[in-house]
Amino acid sequence: MSDLVNKQAVKDYLTGLHDHITDTLEHLDGGGHFHRDTWQREAGGGGDSRVMTEGALFERGGVSFSHVMGDGLPASASAHRPELAGRSFEAMGVSLVMHPRNPYVPTSHMNVRFFVAEKDGADPVWWFGGGFDLTPYYGFDEDCRHWHANARAACEGYGAEVYPRYKQWCDEYFHLKHRNEPRGIGGLFFDDLNEWGFERSFAFMRSVGDHYLPAYVPIVEVRRDHPYGEREREFQLYRRGRYVEFNLVYDRGTLFGLQSGGRTESILMSMPPRVRWEYNWHPEPGTPEAELYERYLVPRDWV
């Protein structure tokens, strides 16, 4: 039967994606290298975290593959899904965050993942999730249109409603409620995907993973040599604070990893290397910094 769950096929794709992304971004940086850190999880499984620090382009970047497993999930993880209680589980995925040094180059995030819980005598419970989103510090309409055109292209062939639905989910998910502002310009976010069956759901996850580099690399190439000064750098560090706030307060992957005894270094490798906070700061009207809030940090249709 062609629609049986194929965990090895998912793992093979994810490890290949991990290699392809790290090779491409290392070449794009032109000076930095990813330090490879393979690790084992005491409760089962492990991963391969690759981190670049002080590259020519990327001040910090991390691309991680993990494949973890266990005999059972903590009670908190199965509280809303009682069908998971008493099942063994496997979770695997690739996640990345890239923090460029130049404030005119946006930060980017991508994640694709697969979860399956199994029990003798019962059908497996499984789903796919993931997406990608962009966090600019200075906005350019053409960058936003390019990013979302690739997000839409990732959804082509899966129904006209898929891109609008997953774009809206991304807008709602990457929202700092305590600030009442989005983290960036969004992209795609999906989770609990299994209603299409395994083969079609897996194909969609691959499409999302495969569209990240075409979405991000051209923006980086256009903006990487844009001149900047202390003003832009200070604003970038201030806006990075929002990234930290979201990851520590709301991000499901970060919270689950920390609460389930995951590897802290890998979980927090998404954090920027330098960041600053200012008390009750607001941009001056009419400035490019104000334009970020007024034009770009608002949910809108870019394509």
Longest CA pairwise span in the chain (Å): 65
Output the six-digit token pair for 8. 């090895």
Cβ–Cβ under 8 Å, residues 44 and 68? yes
| 109 marked as binding residue | yes
Query: What does 239-280 look like in DSSP terms, one character per residue?
Result: HHHHHHHHHHHT-HHHHHHHHTT--HHHHGGGS-SS----TT
Question: Would you say 226 is a known binding-site residue?
Answer: no
63 labelled ligand-binding = no
- Say which DSSP state 83 is in: G
Backbone φ/ψ region at 131: left (φ over 0), alpha (ψ -120 to 50), beta = left
For residue 302 the two structure tokens come to: 């870019």
262 is in an annotated binding site: yes
Does residue 34 sit in helix, strand or coil? coil
Provide the CA 100 distance to its chain's centre, in angstroms: 15
Q: Is 222 annotated as a binding residue?
A: no
| The one-letter amino acid at 142 | E
Q: Tell me: is residue 33 an annotated ligand-binding position.
A: no
Active-site residue, 109 included: yes
* Residue 36 is labelled as binding a ligand: no
* Identified catalytic residue from 20, 27, 80, 109: 109
Tokens encoding 228: 């900047």
Residue 113 annotated as part of some ligand binding site: yes
Write down the number of H helices and E strands in the chain. 9, 9
List beta partners, residue 116: 90, 126
Closest by Cα among 262, 246, 224, 256 to 297: 246
- Would the annotation count 68 as a binding residue? no
Q: Is 200 annotated as a binding residue?
A: no
Answer yes or no: is 263 a known binding residue: yes
Residues recognised as catalytic: 109
Annotated binding site for a divalent metal cation: 99, 109, 148, 178
Binding site listing: 95, 99, 109, 111-113, 148, 178, 261-263
Annotated binding site for substrate: 95, 111-113, 261-263
